[in-house]
Amino acid sequence: MKQFKDRVAVITGGASGFGREFALIGARLGMKLVLADVQQDALDNVKTELEEQGAQVLAMRCDVRNADQVQALADATMERFGAVHLVFNNAGVGSGGLVWENTQADWEWVLGVNLWGVIHGVRIFTNLMLECAKKDPGYEGHIVNTASMAGLLNAPTMGVYNVSKHAVVSLSESLYQDLKLVEAPIGASVLCPYFVPTGISQSHRNRPDDAPAAAPTASQKAAQAMSDKAVSSGKVTAQEVAENTFKAIENDQFYIFSHPGALGNVQERMEDIVLQRNPGDPYKAAPHIRDILRAKLKAE
Say how many CA atoms lie within 13 Å of 143 toward its Cβ: 31
Q: Kindly report the backbone phi and psi dihedral angles of residue 157, in degrees, each rounded to the nearest multiple of 5, phi listed first.
A: 60, 25
Q: How far apart are CA 4 and CA 57, in angstroms?
A: 15
pLDDT at residue 130 in the model: 98
| Ordered structural domains, the chain, with CATH | 8-299 (3.40.50.720)
**Residue 37: pLDDT over 80:** yes
Question: What confidence tens digit (pLDDT) does each residue in 224-240 have?
Answer: 888 888 887 788 999 99
Average pLDDT of the chain, as a whole number: 94
pLDDT at residue 145 in the model: 98
Q: How far apart are CA 223 and CA 297, in angstroms?
A: 10
Q: pLDDT class for 286, splitting at 50, 70, 90? A: confident
CA separation (Å) from 148 to 66, 119, 127, 158, 167? 22, 16, 25, 12, 11
Q: Is 45 exposed, middle or buried (0-12, 13-18, 19+ CB in 10 A)?
A: middle
**Residue 298: pLDDT over 90:** no
Question: What confidence tens digit (pLDDT) does each residue in 149-187 have?
Answer: 999 999 999 999 999 999 999 999 999 999 999 999 999
Task: Supply the residues annotated as catalytic.
Answer: 161
pTM of the model: 0.95
**Residue 270: pLDDT over 90:** yes
Pure H helices in the chain: 17-28, 40-52, 67-81, 104-110, 117-135, 159-181, 218-232, 238-250, 263-274, 287-299
- Say what the alpha-carbon torsion angle 167, 270, 192, 144 is, to the nearest 10 degrees: -60
If DSSP codes are grouped into helix, strand and coil, which group holds residue 13?
A: coil
Q: Kindly report the backbone phi and psi dihedral angles of residue 85, in degrees, each rounded to the nearest multiple of 5, phi listed first.
A: -120, -35
**Residue 289: pLDDT over 90:** no
Query: 197 near 240, Cβ under 8 Å?
Result: no
**DSSP secondary structure letters along 137-188:** TT--EEEEEE--GGGT---TTBHHHHHHHHHHHHHHHHHHHHHHHTT-SEEE
Amino acid identity of residue 107, one-letter, is W
Question: What confidence tens digit (pLDDT) does each residue in 99-132 have?
Answer: 999 999 999 999 999 999 999 999 999 999 999 9
DSSP state of 35: E
Q: pLDDT class for 201, splitting at 50, 70, 90? A: low
